[in-house]
Amino acid sequence: MVVSPTRSAPAAPPRRESGGLLRRPAARCCGLLVAVAVLLVAVLASLLLGSRTLPVGDTLVVLVDGDRSSTTGLIVWELRWPRTVIGVFVGAALGVSGALMQGVTRNPLADPGILGVNAGAAFAVVLAIYVFGITTLSIYVGFAFVGAAVASVVVYALGAMGRDGASPVKLALAGAAVSALLVALTSAILLVDLATLDRYRFWVVGSLAGRDLGVLWQVLPFLGAGLLVGFASARSLTVLGLGDDVAEALGAKVGAARLVSALAVVLLTGSAVAAAGPIGFVGLTIPHVARALVGTDYRWIMAYSALLAPTLLLVADTIGRLVARPGEVQVGVVTAVIGAPFFIALIRRQRLAEL
């Protein structure tokens, strides 16, 4: 009697402990609702607080009626509403791009600038001022986005060279090298032309002040595309977190997944830097907060990052308006003050390399 061999069931893919304080889907959904509520509070605070504090009732009436004739209406609609809306979109872009960048490189210290985005945008703005004599913020946006995109493409092309393709280590090294080169070229131009330095320093500090909604409309198509591509790649990033070998065994196309995620980073970070200048620490800190709440599933990490990052940016912008009234401290400075202690605590963790 011949006994046919039994076919063993396929091995289940290894599961990675998701961790996080909010382990159940219901808890995570409730957490998202709380994050939305906190973001709305930050939006209201951004509209109310500044060199002049506005009454809550009058502000709400102005928002509902759309009145621009009164003093309150003028302050809300002409000054605070544009910077608040831009802050929400820029913050979401920085938070999601930071989560993507850390997922692509599997580096907990990665931020959106690791692909040379910030350095490329800065160099392009300096060229716009020095070579073409441009002084209009709305035109800076186009140059900054093109510079960010070109720098990112160069970094990815360098990182993709060799047999292993665009590995996390090679991307990080290529980004550091290209950023160093662009920073050196930018500094060289600024040192020989003080007029360029005088105009450039107002953009490079990172600020929401002085921006109108026209700036947002210029970058909104790219920002929206980046968000769509980023959230579409969330599942593949979760698989990549298991390691390249395991991801390939599960059928994931590692190279394609990294390329798509890198494209989303370029679109999101390029849009954010073009609209508000380089703002640090938001894309670094917020994904870690989201990861502590929901674990390693990038669908949840990116959803939380898209809500928590604009909250941080608006709170920082509001603090900057309050601490130096009637003047203000630029939001890029405030986020650095808030993010630096977090960064120091992060690099002192014993399990830093495990993402």
Read off the pLDDT of residues 9-48 as tens digits, 9 standing for 90 and up.
444 444 444 567 888 889 999 999 999 999 999 999 999 9
Judged by average pLDDT, the poorest of 36-45, 219-228, 323-332, 343-352 is 343-352
- pLDDT beyond 50 at 152: yes
- pLDDT computed for residue 19 by the predictor: 66
CB 208 within 8 A of CB 333: no
Average per-residue pLDDT in the chain? 84
Calpha distance 230→339 (Å, rounded)? 24
Calpha distance 163→177 (Å, rounded)? 20
In this structure, which amino acid lies at residue 281?
Answer: F
Calpha distance 92→71 (Å, rounded)? 30
Which tokens belong to 279? 């703002």
Report the candidate in 290, 305, 297 with the shortest Cα–Cα distance to residue 91. 305
CA distance to 115, 176, 316, per residue, from 181 (Å): 13, 9, 31
- pLDDT computed for residue 346 by the predictor: 65
pTM of the predicted protein model: 0.85
CB 231 within 8 A of CB 302: yes
Calpha distance 183→203 (Å, rounded)? 15
Per the CATH hierarchy, to which homologous superfamily does domain 87-203+211-347 belong?
Answer: ABC transporter involved in vitamin B12 uptake, BtuC (1.10.3470.10)
In this structure, which amino acid lies at residue 111?
Answer: D
> Interior CA angle at 39 toward 36 and 42, to 5°?
155
- pLDDT beyond 60 at 5: no
Judged by average pLDDT, the poorest of 55-59, 156-160, 177-181 is 156-160
Calpha distance 355→351 (Å, rounded)? 9
Percent of the chain with pLDDT over 70: 90
User: Could you read off the pLDDT of 256-298 as tens digits, one per residue?
Assistant: 888 888 889 888 988 898 888 888 889 988 999 999 899 889 9
- pLDDT computed for residue 177 by the predictor: 92
Q: Helix, strand, or coil here: 273?
A: helix
Grade residue 80 by pLDDT with cuts at 50, 70 and 90. very high
Residues comprising the chain, all counted: 355
Q: What share of residues in the chain are helix, strand, coil (percent, to 5)? A: 75, 0, 25
- pLDDT beyond 80 at 244: no
